Amino acid sequence: MARSTTIMPMMKSLTIALFPLALITSWSSFANIDIEYQVTEVASSNKNYGLSVIAPASDPEQLVPYWHRKAVKICGSKKYKASALIKKETQCGDAIKVTSTGEKCEVIPASVFGTLSCNGT
């Protein structure tokens, strides 16, 4: 019994040490994403916008937090209301590029699009 009680504290400390490492690893995978934002004002309204977030991510869900952060920056201190987000995965386009290693399709990066309305505080 004494043996198992000494193993448990070691396992807890190992878990505590590995958890921050997992957070750093998952955050660093997003740190290198080259993100493009496209913002369109709807009919000179100063409160309604179309917002696209485009990046070479494997999963468009990765881009959703970036969409919301940009929405907060656009609306400032005002609350915002968002439409349902349209998420598209990375796709192969119609254009083909011929290289020395063969043919490659034009890559259309993943994207998230939605409209937002900046409301009063």
Cβ neighbours for 85, distance < 8 A, ≥ 6 positions apart? 64, 67, 112, 113, 114
Amino acid 57: pLDDT: 80
Q: Which amino acid is at 101?
A: T
Taking a C-beta distance cutoff of 8 angstroms, is the pair 49, 94 a contact? no
Which residue would you say has higher pLDDT here, 90 or 32?
Answer: 90
**Banded pLDDT at 117 (limits 50, 70, 90):** very high
Query: Counting every residue, how long is the chain?
Result: 121
- Kindly report the average pLDDT of the chain as a whole number: 77
pLDDT at residue 111 greater than cutoff 90? yes
pLDDT at residue 5 greater than cutoff 70? no
Return d(Cα 66, Cα 35) in angstroms, integer: 9
For the chain, give every domain's residue range: 1-32, 34-118
Return d(Cα 74, Cα 3) in angstroms, integer: 58
Return d(Cα 77, Cα 97) in angstroms, integer: 46
H or E element at residue 48 = strand 48-55
